[in-house]
Amino acid sequence: MRITFWGVRGSYPTPGTSTVRYGGHTSCVQVEVEGRPPIVLDAGTGMRALGRHLRRGPLGHGDGTVNLLLTHLHWDHIQGLPFFDPVFVRGNRLNVYARSGRGTRLSEAIAGVAGDAVFPVVFKDLPANFKFVPVTPKDDLNIGGVRVLPIALNHPGTSTGFRIDHGARSVAYITDTSPFDRIRYKRNFAKAPPKRLAPGDRRILEKMRRDLVSAIRGCDVVIYDTTFTDDEYEKFPHWGHSTPWQAIQIARDADAKKLVLFHHAPNRSDEDMDRMLADTIERAGDTHVAIDAARQGQVLEI
């Protein structure tokens, strides 16, 4: 299994001299399994370069399939889709797996990123064939011969993580999510940190955390939302994102082999990221979990 990071940033793209090493594109990760169609996790702005890369194969002449798994439909996770070259080649198939929310059909939500008010090519005129598959965290999916488990996360409007298994190899992609102890998201963004958590919500969050830990148990690689430092999290616990320390505890509890920090805050420079990674490794101390921070262009072979 090979994992390639095409976009690692959260919220919005941040090109520039201060993000050269870690990269400025938003979330897009490719998972390759020999002989299977590529799996793409999220369609952030990193997806454009991935599309150009994939055109060298069957997707370049209309004979390819992409299985796209979307955590959720926030802009930083879908904005690359209309710029993904394979959707402009007739004959290609794009299977889009995501949770549909609150009465919005998945196809309509995706069509919104290529609606005539915001994009020159209307979604229905894109030459590739799209198939939309709604998923729920109870599913156990076989996607092109690869096992995929959707996982419920705690984020405004909800988000869905994914565990991908093939043979003895496994990767989990866990973004975007708040921790599971202070706020439970039901619908949208919370305007202010909650004063206290209702007991019913506490129980639901505890179960969510247990379910997450058991879903990613023993994974070779866990890619995790680590948008915030501890100090930032204290200021914005209601923004729906986690810290490296919260990620380490989840990865340890799940006996993961490697944790990869991901969804870097847009204002975090390369030097800030170096520091965050070094601090995280130091704070984790003597642990069996290897720790790294995702860099655009990085490839992990597992």
Which residues of the chain form contacts with Zn ion (CB under 5 A)?
A: 10, 74, 76, 176
Give the Cα separation of 274 and 178 in Å (integer): 23
Of 10 and 51, nearer to Zn ion (C-beta) is 10
Which CB atom, from 73 or from 248, has the smaller least distance to Zn ion?
73
CB-count exposure of residue 214 (10 Å: 0-12, 13-18, 19+): exposed
Closest-by-Cβ residue to Zn ion is 74
Helices 244-253 and 270-284 sit at what angle, rounded to 10 degrees?
A: 40
Using alpha carbons, list the distances in angstroms from residue 287 to 71, 210, 245, 283. 29, 21, 13, 10
For Zn ion, the closer CB: 11 or 67: 11
Is residue 60 within 8 Å of residue 91, measured between CB atoms? no
- Compute the least distance from the CB of residue 73 to Zn ion, in Å: 9
Least CB distance from residue 174 to Zn ion, whole Å? 12
**CB-wise, 74 or 268, nearer to Zn ion?**
74
Residue with Cβ nearer Zn ion (76 or 85): 76
Residue 41 CA to residue 199 CA, distance in Å, equals: 34
CB of 251 or CB of 265, closer to Zn ion = 265
Least Å distance, CB 274 to Zn ion, is: 22
Torsion region of 134: left, alpha or beta (phi above 0 gives left; psi -120 to 50 gives alpha): beta
Residue 37 DSSP code: P
Instruction: Confirm if 3 and 171 have CB atoms less than 8 A apart.
Output: yes
DSSP 165-196: EETTEEEEEE-S---SSS---SSS--SS--SS
Q: Cα–Cα–Cα angle for 88, 91, 58, nearest 5°?
A: 85
Q: How far is the CB of 11 from Zn ion (least distance, A)?
A: 6
Question: Residue 85 or residue 176: which is nearer to Zn ion going by CB?
Answer: 176
Distance CA 280, CA 247 (A): 10
**Alpha carbon distance, N-terminus to C-terminus of the chain:** 5
Q: Find the shortest distance in angstroms from Cβ 137 to Zn ion.
A: 17
Nearer to Zn ion, 82 or 240 (CB): 240
**What is the smallest separation between the CB atom of 265 and Zn ion, expressed in angstroms?**
10
Least Å distance between CB 240 and Zn ion? 6
Letter string b/e over residues 128-161, b meaning 16 or more CB atoms within 10 A of that residue's CB = bebebbebebeeebebbebebbbbbbbbbbbbbb
Residue 143 Cβ vs Zn ion, minimum distance, rounded to whole Å: 22
3-state SS assignment for residue 45: coil
